[in-house]
Amino acid sequence: MTEPQIKVSISLHQDTVYDLETAIDHASKSNYNSVTVPLAHRRFDREFVVEPLKTNHNRFTRSDLLLNSTQWLNRVICRLSCNVDCDSLDDNVRRQGESTIRQEISYAEHLVQSGYILLRLKNGNCANLARLTSVGLKGVLLVEVPMVNPKATQATWRSDSHDGEPDDTWNWWNNFRSYMDFDSHVKIALEFTADIPSKQEIYRWLGEPVDAVVLSANTFLTNANNYPVLSKAHQELLVLFHRTFGCHFIVKANPEDKRLVHYSDYIKYILRTNYKKDVMHGYDDLLEIPLQPLYDNLDSFTYEVFEKDPVKYILYQNAIEQALRDRVPAEELETRTSIIMVVGGGRGPLVRATLNAAAKSKRKVKIYVIEKNPNAIVTLSALINELWQNKNIELISTDMRDFEPPEKADILVSELLGSFGDNELSPECLDGAQRHLKPDGVSIPCKSTSYLNPCMTTKIYNQIKSLEKSIHAKDRIVTSRYMEGTYVAYLKNVYHIDNPQPVFEFVHPNLDPAIDNSRFKTLHFKAQLDCVMHGFSGYFDSVLYGDINISIHPFTHTKGLGSWFSMFFPLTEPVQVRAGDEIVVNFWRCVAAHKVWYEWNISAPRLSHVHNVQGRAQPIWK
């Protein structure tokens, strides 16, 4: 069996390097892709004096001519001095630290341009340090943070804390990136420590921009064959973070350590042996605008993507088959024909599922296929003429709400569900089409429920923020509303602050005397840990028929179902949340003559404005 080809980049971290080219060559022979080295060279001293210069203090490090620009970019991670204190109460110490950091960042970006610069964070008292590093940052600033504070226990309290919070290293990072206004150039180099935090604390890091994992040689154990290995818990962490982030690795070890090659080879071995192909790879945390198939005609590519779902149409087929068996007893197999209306036929997958269900159940059917997209009608016509010419199928080119059938249906089949259940206007469509049903007719699906939970996802938030910046850069007069729109995304780089709760429910056919599809719900959540809330993840589950369900709810997700990713409802500003805080969200589904839209706001832990008022950012057109 061929081993999976996984690209793993590993850098060798060295505290002291006298000859850079030799260090790179030595690391390469031990299967490392790059070296992480101090930017300042120990052979050079520096002092910051008033001009004109009378010393050689600018010679604090190596010449850039040692390597070409490609080598600097790909083979070197520049590490900033960690023995400075830019937030010291001592003015002289602070000023010396400021000058050092400014000088090093300037030279580091001169060397690596858009490459990596490493900064080790020592505590959460870092406002001035963040202020200095945020100026004109062009490359990636890797902020090294230990997963667990090695000097702290659960009973230890921060000496620099003003509010009595435990010394949680996540708060160091949160302070730093908050001071930098969630700058997308700033990412985490998370150091695995000997102690492993709780699962909740691990999951919280999954919502952050972790770009590298740092492993010290002393984290490795020695097995019976005298080879370095990681504990089972550390192996699981390694695999989890690589699957989530595709991160690279930095190994801290003495360059004279005889086991250097074993560290790098072992990391690659663990990742290869635990490799699992992700069928959604390529869609990770990729923002998409929700489809509006009622308003827009879908293209061939979109149809094709959904038709490849290996699970959905099997479940639909099972539901239709079960409904046919329930409605037509065995003694009426030859005398009774069930009328099935496929509303929203697309390119025919539901028609195919219906034909298969009829064949398996040995029930006779007549199928009306209603489709409004004239381009899909071409495909459906070809299928009927070439493949289904002997089937009892009638094709109708119209909106399902305008169709006037010659007879009533036993079963109404549709796939109008969106990522939030009702966001593709299945209630409005099916309410209009249900008059085609017999009094005892059934709808497949017959019920849908939407769910919501608060989440932290720095990557998604920064993507939306970049859209805002882009539109303002082009035209500063335009008021963009990207932060109030809704998005579909396969959320991978995310921390779920609390479990999902149900929001809206719709039943079909709707037998209410006066049908009203507007909704309002207030939900209460509770944070288990300090975190940042960027918005809310939305999901749905649906009953097709009987006990046949489809779901993208995290706890009941239908295995293999790939047609829907979760919805994301952003907040225009990140909300700092403390452990134990109650999160209260108000959510509206609003309905007007020609559009439907969602509005939302939070009333705890602080008040926010109502997002997407009157659908100003994103209406769903009827």
Q: What residues act catalytically?
A: 415, 424
Q: How many angstroms separate the Cα of 312 from the Cα of each of 35, 307, 315, 351, 563?
A: 48, 9, 5, 13, 8
**Residue 472, number of CB atoms within 10 A of its CB:** 13
Question: Angle formed by the axes of helices 312-327 and 349-361, to 10°?
Answer: 40
Comparing CA positions, the residue from 411, 445, 442, 408 lying closest to residue 426 is 445
> Per-residue DSSP letters for 109-166?
HHHHTTSEEEEE--SS--HHHHHHHTTT--SEEEEEEESS-TT--TT-B-TT-SS--B
Q: Which amino acid is at 370?
A: I
* Burial annotation 327-361 (CB, 10 A radius, 16+ → b, else e): bbeeeeeeeeebbbbbbbbbbbbbbbbbbbbbeeb
Q: Which helix (H) or strand (E) holds 603?
A: strand 595-604
| Locus of tokens 């998409």 | 288
Comparing CA positions, the residue from 26, 398, 106, 365 lying closest to residue 353 is 365
| Locus of tokens 């599922």 | 353
The runs of H, that is alpha helices, within 508-577 are: none
> Per-residue DSSP letters for 452-465?
EEEEE-HHHHHHHH
Residues 6+ apart with CB under 8 A from 89: none
Q: Are 458 and 527 in contact (CB under 8 A)?
A: no
Q: Are 324 and 338 in contact (CB under 8 A)?
A: yes
SS3 content of the chain, % helix, strand, coil (to 5): 30, 25, 45
| Locus of tokens 């963009």 | 480
Q: How many angstroms separate the Cα of 318 from the Cα of each of 138, 372, 409, 421?
A: 55, 26, 19, 20
Structure tokens belonging to residue 560: 């293999």
Structure tokens belonging to residue 444: 């497949």
* Burial annotation 530-559 (CB, 10 A radius, 16+ → b, else e): bbbbbbbbbbbbbbbbeebbbbbbeeeebe
Pairing verdict, β 487-489 and 393-397? unpaired
Question: 470 phi and psi, to 5 degrees?
Answer: -65, -45
Q: Are 536 and 600 in contact (CB under 8 A)?
A: yes
Structure tokens belonging to residue 443: 């709808």
Q: How many angstroms separate the Cα of 313 from the Cα of each of 357, 385, 548, 557?
A: 11, 22, 12, 16
Q: Are 601 and 590 in contact (CB under 8 A)?
A: no
Q: How far apart are CA 197 and CA 147, in angstroms?
A: 7
